[in-house]
Chains A and B, each alone.
Chain A
Amino acid sequence: MAASAESMQASSAGLILRLWQSSIGKKYVMAVTGLALFLFVIVHLAGNLQIYLGPYKINEYAHLLKSTPAVLWGARAGLLAIVALHIVTALQLTAANRKARPAGYAVGKPVASTFAQRTILVSGLVLLAFIIFHLGHFTIGFVDPALLDLRDIYGRHDVYRMMVNGFSNPLVSIFYIVSMGLLLLHLSHGVSSLFQSLGLRSRKTFRFFDRLAKGAAVLLFLGNCSIPLSILLGIIK
């Protein structure tokens, strides 16, 4: 028994190692973590859009999210691991790609690839900077600690006021909007690409995935940007 359990373990470790050491395996990691982040971004926006329902609703929602520390910290740890894997894999793949193709061509434009495809690393890296700032802004509090101390009349963290105060600074709002533009760019290629990496896309379904990626990326952009814009324009106050 012990021996067979051990060999099972050994072969599971072997599988993971083999995945990690192969180009295609790393692409699976990119795709799966990319998909998880994409789904997270959708849920995150759905939660935040509750700001349009007024302070009570969104504060209630935020309170609910934080009410079970085990769940909260489990989710945070999971997300952190996913982001770390996504980035480490992206950097490794990109380094290998640069080594494989050190010299470009003297003339001509890149064959058939799009701007979003060629800039995926740049959009990703700026997103990383954004994620760090965003966490510092609304989660950890190193940007403006006072934002985290706001309380509503029920004694809950006043997330509504935090967002309104946070986005009243036009510079901050502009940084958020620019970052969302980069997310738009990143996802407009990424969400279709991940299905190709997982072997689930074909010539027949290409249009579907391409539209899904671009459509979802645009909707996420509009939804996310609407919040700082509404605050700047005084629609939410």
Chain B
Amino acid sequence: MNLTLRVWRQKNAKTSGQFVTYQATDISAEMSFLEMLDVVNEELIKKGEEQIAFDHDCREGICGSCGMVINGTPHGPLSATTTCQLHMRFFKDGDTITIEPWRASSFPIIKDLVVDRTAFDRIIQSGGFVSVSTGGAPDGNAIPIPKEDADKAMDAAQCIGCGACVAACKNASAMLFVSAKVSHLGLLPQGHVEADRRVLNMVATMDEEGFGNCTNTGSCEAACPKEISLDNIARMNRAYAKALFKNKLA
């Protein structure tokens, strides 16, 4: 199939960018979206032009590196799918596809479709871990965990930190990401010990990094390739109040 691409090109964070139109020719329906871009880039190399920069790593939907806004939707039209797992059979011959980077002040553009997501790393560094150093790996079932808690924690643990939630949100809020981490760690006994400190610190860092405030629209949940649920945000809203009040009494 043949497609027309309108791709955001931007040299670096300091320059302003603009859309540039490219033709993607002879694209097979079996290609992934990133492979389609590889083909376009091959052509650009042949012509001696600068390739389109985009992030990618695993190309199997688990690392969270890839991500671009395709026709206005982060990770494109297919729900619960990362850009690398989106296949060209979901597009038609002759389609025009507009491709943009994540847009958020906290994710400044590095180049073209690549944004700087280290704000997420700093949020994790402020509490998204369990700080116990132990010896060897403990026995699998040494700590009993209720199935319900384990399920909720594992659902939250699906988050790959791609940032599509921030990209989709009209307020560029990181609540879905942060709440996934807070839930995933806080619901399990190992992480529960530090639950209060974690939620207070991670939310404080999230605010310092300049992410917006949640207005409960649900755009994040709809865009999330891992179907992280808004329930996590509600859980974090509860946990934050609890931690604040406990902190005050202590």
Q: Which residues of A contact B (CB under 8 A)?
A: 11-12, 14-15, 18-19, 21-28, 93, 96-97, 99-114, 117-118, 120, 189, 192-193, 196-203, 206
Contacts and interface: CB of A to CB of B under 8 A. Distances in A.
Contacts of A21: 207
A12 B240 CA distance: 16
B98 interface: yes
Given A111-B73, A111-B168, A104 B103 contact: yes
Contacts of A99: 105, 210, 212
Contact of B213 (A12, A96, A102, A192): A96
A112 B170 CA distance: 11
A111 B222 contact: yes
B219 interface: yes
User: Among B213, B214, B235, which residue has the most Cβ atoms of chain A within 10 A?
Assistant: B213
A112 B237 contact: no
B104 A112 contact: no
Nearest to A118: B170
B interface, size bucket: 35 or more
B178 to A, nearest CB: 10
User: Among A28, A112, A203, which residue has the most Cβ atoms of chain B within 10 A?
Assistant: A112
10 contacts: A22-B204, A22-B207, A23-B207, A100-B211, A101-B104, A107-B72, A113-B170, A117-B217, A118-B217, A189-B216
Given A105-B103, A117-B215, 20 more contacts: A18-B244, A23-B207, A23-B213, A24-B237, A26-B213, A97-B173, A97-B215, A100-B173, A100-B210, A100-B211, A101-B171, A101-B172, A105-B100, A108-B73, A113-B217, A117-B216, A118-B170, A199-B238, A199-B241, A200-B238
B212 A96 contact: yes
A100 B173 CA distance: 8
Interface of B: 6, 19, 69, 71-74, 98, 100, 103-106, 168-173, 203-204, 206-207, 210-219, 221-223, 229-231, 233-241, 244-245, 247-248
A127 B169 CA distance: 25
Given A23-B214, A100-B173, A203 B229 contact: yes
B105 A196 contact: no
A192 B234 CA distance: 12
Interface of B is mostly: mixed
B249 to A, nearest CB: 8
A108 B71 contact: yes
A101 B212 contact: yes
A111 B224 CA distance: 11
A199 B237 CA distance: 5
A103 B100 CA distance: 11
Given A97-B212, A197-B237, A199-B237, A114 B105 contact: no
A114 B217 contact: yes
Given A22-B203, A101-B172, A106 B98 contact: yes
A130 to B, nearest CB: 22
Contact of B234 (A104, A120, A202): A202
B74 to A, nearest CB: 7
A30 B73 CA distance: 29
Contact of B105 (A25, A27, A101, A105): A101
Contacts of B206: 23
Contacts of A201: 234
A120 B215 contact: yes
B154 to A, nearest CB: 16
Contacts of B215: 93, 97, 117, 120, 193
Contacts of A23: 173, 203, 206-207, 211-214
A107 B234 contact: no
Given A27-B214, A113-B217, A198 B237 contact: yes
Contacts of A102: 105
Contacts of B212: 23, 96-97, 99-101
Given A100-B171, A101-B170, A106 B19 contact: yes
B219 A110 contact: yes
Contacts of B72: 105-109, 111
B14 to A, nearest CB: 15
A112 B227 CA distance: 14
A56 B212 CA distance: 52
Q: Please give me the 9 A-B residue pairs with the lowest Cβ-Cβ distance, nearest first.
A: A108-B72, A199-B238, A100-B212, A112-B222, A199-B237, A97-B171, A113-B217, A101-B172, A100-B172
